[in-house]
């Protein structure tokens, strides 16, 4: 909102600002850069238009006035984050030691390590991916990278791209829409129920993916899908801004489960946006584990537009030294008989900060809706921080709504009990923390659950006791 | 009620909630005063809890296996271990499903107590301290618990039963009875002491315990 | 003029519409004559402090209090009941008050705001309380202003070692009723127990911003808010328990329940738990919904009409909090006012 005073001031300062403005544009994000990206991607005209319009929006929007400190991002120098990176030929030697060690401890094969570190070429899993692709093709499922989808399925993409997440949602969404690159596209036709989960893991190996990647998933009427994004080994990226976007469409009677284990290297600013639009009798379940990054601002959102639509969110956030992880869940109930179930857990240690930030909105037309939220935060020491900031906005009376949150430390009694059976203090604490995280790990496929447990052990190693 | 029976158990296991003001705890000739709880457990001391903790997210089987690995100091043979656990559970008339449930979560009072006895049998300690294991149990459950204790007991180990109830003792062949009043052992005797208490109650020992501090 | 009040201690997304309350067309009284129609049991009063508040209702309202207060009191408690009753009438429509209570000895303190006129009234006030060591204070604030009145109250507490402050806020009046409550719990084993009922109807706005900073070891804060919304009423409840470093073994509980009697009413709640200390226990819960149909059916099967049954249920929600008012006369008046509002 502009006030009159500012309007008058404009005239006085216009001349003075001119130079500065041009300087900013040079360093900031400009048309030239976006067009360059678009050209390199072989964008059709309509996609170039979207990018350029998003650029305008980006330049208008301000940084959030809330949440973690983003001053480390040099917004005046944003071009360096988004310019096509021909010069970015990182090498295995550049990958930080602690990440290499983590790969080893998690038992990740050599080829995968290099790929996760963003320095390797395509590896063996490509074969797996191809054979899977054939099976999917027979059922009419489309699973491809986003660039290919733009070229080969323009109608579907045009109808859905940046429609679930509006470009003006916030500054980093606008940035994303202007410079997006890579990501997955999935279309599951009506009635097709996929038994095995699709994993974007297999696609993370192109050099630029995993920074501004766009994920677009459409689960058509009556269809069902489990999609897994990322993995628990730390993904290393030289460039430390991640502004991805995930758009999910769950049509009437469809089901989608979207699982993420996010473990960016600890230099990353992870400003990701994820939303799902859910139709009649449809359901989306989110399973989210956030372990990595320096700063995260991540709040998956379910928009329940159809009657009887359902959503569940199961999330865990684990913040250690120098980490500020601001995560949570947003749900908007827009139709009758909709329901949501939220189960969030967080662990803070070694000075790390966890924030659960959330929104529940039950709209005027969402009679007979239900929502139940449970939040638990564990503090592992007294130098860490744990905040719970949930907004509950109820706009109709025919609702059942409840929210519960707890904060505290591991109970001494529990530790003593486990120690009396021969576990060391460290083992006892690790076991209790794993148990605390169990409601999330049980929602993951076994191999991911095992990796997540290894990750928790790793994170706890030497830090307690 | 508060005569220090449970305190004794907690102090032996070095529960950090309790502070030792004087004296030492020795086990098999070794001063274990300053050992941590898990180190004491590894020496072969076991304590069954009055109200065992409920710990979500950890299956009972997984927990007992981890504990067994720790006290043995080497990984157990999984197949034999599972079979042993099953056998013990059968002997204790435990619902076999409990083993896959989260540790003590949602267990009834009796199920929790049996779970403690099960852990005692599996971990096979040198000294088992049973803190009010019989309290709140019905006659059948007390009998089952006694059965477990009899299965465990042999010449090489020892059991310290903490109770204010004579019932559980009738099923067991006790060697010594110590009566603890206000933190002091006021009387030590053989099994005949049980009969004496059954007949006359505790009050006469309480009188003995209160006046002088020698 | 337009003013923003009740900023939350920590901001969240602007789209969530809760960071503050924006009010338009608020006219602040300029030159005020002294507020005459006030009954005060305590006569020896001094000048209250004009120290800046940590939170409060924003600069504009706060400065107005320090500059223009037409009722200013400083009371040092001495083992007695203190009653302050502001009666708004046609001659006394605007009250800007500054009350400072120094809790030296135990006391029961009642502060009431009552409209005895149908004209729009205005209240902008500040109640500052210091509870010294071992002091126990029971403070009851009652807002029975008419539904054309804007009511602003800023409360600031300071609790020292082993002090106990029971605060009871009966917020059942006003067109717009804004309460900012800040407790600084400094002392070891200090205990602050805050209980509130609110009743909002028609187009009224209720904005409650409660902040407790827990600093003392083994100190406690307990916030319990029971509310009822009818008509197009809009309510924002912002409750923050902030465990500061060093408050080992402190406990904090926060609970809000909002009963919705209309599908047009709107209830927003932001119950925050902030924590930088390990050894604490913090819990919060909020819930909202309409009257339970089983309970309703049960009561109606005994011969009560729908309206009577709802009234009974509302009163049952409020009763445990109203029970805390030790003065029978004041309690009875509150019950009557609720009865009148629900009829």
Regions of chain C short of the pLDDT cut 50? none
CA-based diameter of chain B, in Å?
Answer: 58
Helices B60-72, B78-91: crossing angle, 10 deg rounding: 120
* Domain residue ranges of chain A, discontinuous segments joined by +: 92-298, 411-465
Q: Does the residue B15 lie in any domain?
A: no
Check which CATH number belongs to the domain holding B63 and give it.
Answer: 3.40.50.300
pLDDT over 60 at A119, yes or no: no
Same domain, B201 and B99: no
pLDDT confidence bin for A123, thresholds 50/70/90? very low
Contacts of A413 in chain B (CB under 8 A): 17, 53
Contacts A420 to B, Cβ<8 Å: 13, 37-38, 40-41, 46-47, 49
Q: Examine the pLDDT at A130 and tell me if it is beyond 80.
A: no
Residue C218 CA: distances (Å) to CA of A411, C131, C250: 17, 17, 4
State ipTM: 0.87
Identify the pLDDT of residue A122. 33
The structural domain count of chain B equals 2
pLDDT value of residue A204: 41
User: Per CB distance under 8 Å, which residues of B are interface residues toward A?
Assistant: 13, 15-17, 36-38, 40-42, 46-47, 49, 52-53, 55-58, 63, 66-67, 70-71, 102-103, 119, 123
**pTM > 0.90:** no
Are B191 and B143 in a shared domain? no
What share of chain A in percent tops pLDDT 70? 77
Q: What are the pLDDT digits (tens) for B139-196?
A: 888 899 999 999 999 999 999 999 887 778 878 888 999 988 888 888 898 888 888 8
Q: Flag whether B83 is in a domain.
A: yes
Phi-psi map region of C79: left, alpha, beta (phi>0 left; psi -120 to 50 alpha): left
Q: Residue A16: pLDDT band by 50, 70, 90 thresholds?
A: very low
Q: In terms of domains, do B131 and B158 share one?
A: yes
| Residue B191 contacts residue B174 (beta carbons within 8 Å) | yes
Same domain, B212 and B156: no
Record the tokens describing residue B161, joined without a space: 């039963």
Dump pLDDT digits (tens) for A375-392. 999 999 999 999 999 999
Report the DSSP pairing between strands C205-214 and C176-185: parallel
pLDDT band of residue A173 (cuts 50, 70, 90) is very high
Which range, of A97-106, A117-126, A302-311, averages the lowest pLDDT? A117-126
Give A276: exposed, middle or buried? Use CB within 10 Å, 0-12, 13-18, 19+. buried
Give me the sign of the Cα torsion angle C238, C129, C225, A406.
positive
Contact between chains at B57 and A437 (C-beta distance less than 8 A): yes
- Contact assignment for A421 to B15 by CB distance below 8 Å: no
| Domain ranges, residue B132 | 42-163
Phi, psi of B88 (to 5 degrees): -60, -40
- Mean pLDDT for A441-450 is 77
The pLDDT value given to residue C196: 98
Query: For A218-268, what is each residue's pLDDT tens digit?
Result: 999 999 999 988 666 666 666 688 899 999 999 999 999 999 888 888 888
Closest CA to B136 of B184, B158, B106, B168: B168
**Which of C110, C196, C109, C124 has its CA nearest to residue C154?**
C124
Nearest to C183 by CA among C161, C200, C203, C159: C159
B70 and B156 inside one domain:
yes
Cβ burial, residue A91 (10 Å; 0-12/13-18/19+)? exposed
Residue A92 confidence (pLDDT) = 65
Nearest 5°: phi and psi at A188? -110, 115
In whole numbers, what is the pLDDT of chain A averaged over residues? 82
Whether B72 and B151 map to the same domain: the answer is yes
- As a residue count, chain A comes to 465
The whole-angstrom separation of Cα A374 and Cα A391 is 13
Whether residue A320 is predicted with pLDDT greater than 70 in this model: the reply is yes
> Does residue B22 sit within a domain?
no
Cα separation, B147 vs B35, whole angstroms: 32
DSSP A229-267: E--SSPBP-SS-EE--EEEEEE-TT-EEEEEEEE-B-TT
* Chain A nearest-CA residue for B56: A435
In the predicted model, is pLDDT for residue A111 greater than 80? no
B190 and B152, same domain (yes or no) = no
Helix (H, G, I), strand (E, B) or coil at B214: coil
Residue A24, pLDDT score: 41
- Per-residue confidence of chain B (214 residues) as pLDDT tens digits? 577 788 888 899 888 888 888 889 999 999 998 888 888 999 999 999 888 888 887 889 988 988 898 888 888 888 999 999 999 999 999 999 999 998 899 999 999 999 999 999 999 999 999 998 888 888 888 899 999 999 999 999 999 999 887 778 878 888 999 988 888 888 898 888 888 888 887 777 776 555 443 3
Residues of A in contact with B46 (CB under 8 A): 420-421
Distance from CA of C281 to the nearest CA of A (A): 5
């Amino acid at each position: 909102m502009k006030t009159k005073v500012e309007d008058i001031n404009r005239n006085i300062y216009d001349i003075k600002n001119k130079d500065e403005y041009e300087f900013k544009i040079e360093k900031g994000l400009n048309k030239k850069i976006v067009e360059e990206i678009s050209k390199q991607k072989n964008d059709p005209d309509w996609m170039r238009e979207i990018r350029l319009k998003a650029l305008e929006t980006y330049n208008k929007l301000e940084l959030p006035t809330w949440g973690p400190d983003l001053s480390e991002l040099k917004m005046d120098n944003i071009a360096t984050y988004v310019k096509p990176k021909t010069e970015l030929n990182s090498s295995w030697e550049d990958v930080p030691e602690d990440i290499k060690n983590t790969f080893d401890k998690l038992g990740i094969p050599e080829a995968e390590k290099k790929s996760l570190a963003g320095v390797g070429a395509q590896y063996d899993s490509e074969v797996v991916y191809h054979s899977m692709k054939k099976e999917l093709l027979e059922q009419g499922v489309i699973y491809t990278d986003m660039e290919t989808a733009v070229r080969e399925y323009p109608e579907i993409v045009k109808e859905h791209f940046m429609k679930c997440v509006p470009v003006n949602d916030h500054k980093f969404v606008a940035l994303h829409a202007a410079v997006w690159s890579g990501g997955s596209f999935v279309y599951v036709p009506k009635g097709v129920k996929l038994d095995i989960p699709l994993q974007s893991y297999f696609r993370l190996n192109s050099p630029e993916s995993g920074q501004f990647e766009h994920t677009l998933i459409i689960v058509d009427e009556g269809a069902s899908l489990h999609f897994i994004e990322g993995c628990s080994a730390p993904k290393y990226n030289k460039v430390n801004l991640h502004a991805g976007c995930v758009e999910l469409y769950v049509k009437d009677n469809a089901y989608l489960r979207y699982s993420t284990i996010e473990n960016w290297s600890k230099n990353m600013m992870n400003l990701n946006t994820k939303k799902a639009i859910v139709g009649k009798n449809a359901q989306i379940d989110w399973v989210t584990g956030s372990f990595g990054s320096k700063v995260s601002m991540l709040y998956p959102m379910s928009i329940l537009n159809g009657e009887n639509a359902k959503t569940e969110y199961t999330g865990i956030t684990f913040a250690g030294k120098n980490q500020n992880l601001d995560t949570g869940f947003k749900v908007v109930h827009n139709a009758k008989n909709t329901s949501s179930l939220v189960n969030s857990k967080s662990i803070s240690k070694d000075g790390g900060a966890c924030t659960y930030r959330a929104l529940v909105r039950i709209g005027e037309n969402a009679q007979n809706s239900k929502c139940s939220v449970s939040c638990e935060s564990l503090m592992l020491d007294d130098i860490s921080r744990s905040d719970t900031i949930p907004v509950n906005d109820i706009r109709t009376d025919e609702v059942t709504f409840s929210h519960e949150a707890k904060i505290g430390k591991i109970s001494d009694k529990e530790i003593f009990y486990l120690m009396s059976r021969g576990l060391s203090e460290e083992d006892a604490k690790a076991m209790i923390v794993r148990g605390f995280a169990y409601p999330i790990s049980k929602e993951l496929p076994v191999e991911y659950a095992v990796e997540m447990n290894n990750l928790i052990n790793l994170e706890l190693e030497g830090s307690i006791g | 009620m508060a005569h220090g029976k449970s305190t004794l158990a907690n102090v032996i296991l070095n529960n950090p909630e309790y502070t030792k003001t004087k004296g030492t705890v020795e086990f098999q000739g070794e001063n274990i005063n300053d050992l941590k709880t898990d180190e004491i457990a590894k020496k072969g001391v076991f304590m069954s809890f009055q109200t065992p903790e409920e710990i979500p997210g950890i299956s009972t089987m997984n927990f007992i296996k981890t504990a067994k690995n720790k006290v043995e100091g080497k990984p157990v043979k999984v197949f034999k271990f599972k079979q042993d656990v099953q056998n013990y559970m059968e002997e204790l008339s435990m619902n076999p499903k409990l083993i896959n449930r989260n540790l003590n979560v949602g267990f009834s009072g009796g199920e929790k107590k049996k779970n403690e006895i099960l852990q005692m049998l599996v971990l096979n300690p040198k000294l088992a301290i049973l803190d009010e294991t019989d309290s709140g149990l019905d006659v059948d459950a007390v009998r089952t618990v006694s059965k477990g204790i009899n299965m465990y007991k042999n010449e090489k180990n020892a059991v310290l039963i903490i109770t204010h109830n004579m019932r559980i003792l009738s099923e067991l062949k006790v060697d010594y009875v110590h009566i603890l009043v206000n933190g002091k052992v006021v009387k030590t005797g053989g099994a005949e002491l049980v009969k004496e208490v059954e007949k006359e109650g505790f009050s006469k020992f309480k009188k003995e315990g209160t006046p002088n501090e020698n | 003029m337009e003013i923003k009040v009740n900023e939350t201690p920590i901001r969240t997304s602007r789209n969530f519409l809760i960071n503050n309350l924006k009010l338009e067309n608020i006219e602040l009284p300029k030159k005020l004559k002294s507020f005459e129609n006030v009954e005060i049991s305590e006569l020896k009063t001094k000048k209250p402090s004009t120290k800046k508040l940590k939170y409060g209702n924003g600069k504009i309202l706060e400065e107005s209090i320090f500059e223009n207060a037409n009722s200013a009191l400083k009371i040092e408690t001495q083992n007695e009941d203190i009653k302050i009753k502001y009666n708004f009438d046609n001659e006394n429509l605007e009250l800007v008050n500054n009350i400072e209570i120094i809790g030296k000895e135990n006391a029961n303190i009642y502060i009431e705001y009552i409209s005895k006129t149908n004209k729009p009234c205005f209240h902008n006030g500040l109640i500052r309380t210091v509870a010294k060591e071992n002091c126990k204070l029971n403070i009851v604030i009652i807002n029975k202003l008419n539904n054309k009145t804007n009511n602003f109250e800023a409360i600031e507490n300071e609790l020292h070692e082993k002090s106990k402050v029971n605060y009871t806020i009966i917020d059942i009046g006003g067109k717009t009723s804004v309460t900012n409550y800040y407790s600084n719990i400094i002392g070891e084993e200090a205990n602050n127990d805050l209980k509130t009922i609110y009743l909002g109807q028609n187009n009224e706005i209720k904005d409650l911003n409660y902040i407790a900073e827990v600093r003392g070891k083994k100190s406690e804060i307990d916030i319990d808010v029971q509310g009822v919304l009818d008509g197009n009423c809009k309510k924002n409840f912002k409750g923050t328990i902030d465990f500061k470093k060093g408050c080992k073994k402190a406990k904090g509980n926060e609970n809000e329940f909002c009963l919705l009697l209309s599908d047009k009413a709107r209830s927003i709640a932001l119950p925050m738990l902030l924590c930088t200390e390990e050894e604490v226990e913090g819990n919060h819960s909020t819930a909202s919904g309409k009257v339970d149909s089983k309970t309703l059916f049960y009561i109606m099967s005994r011969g009560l009409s729908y309206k009577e049954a709802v009234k009974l249920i509302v009163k049952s929600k409020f009763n445990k909090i109203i029970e805390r008012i030790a003065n029978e006369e004041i309690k009875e008046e509150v019950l009557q006012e609720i009865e009148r509002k629900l009829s």
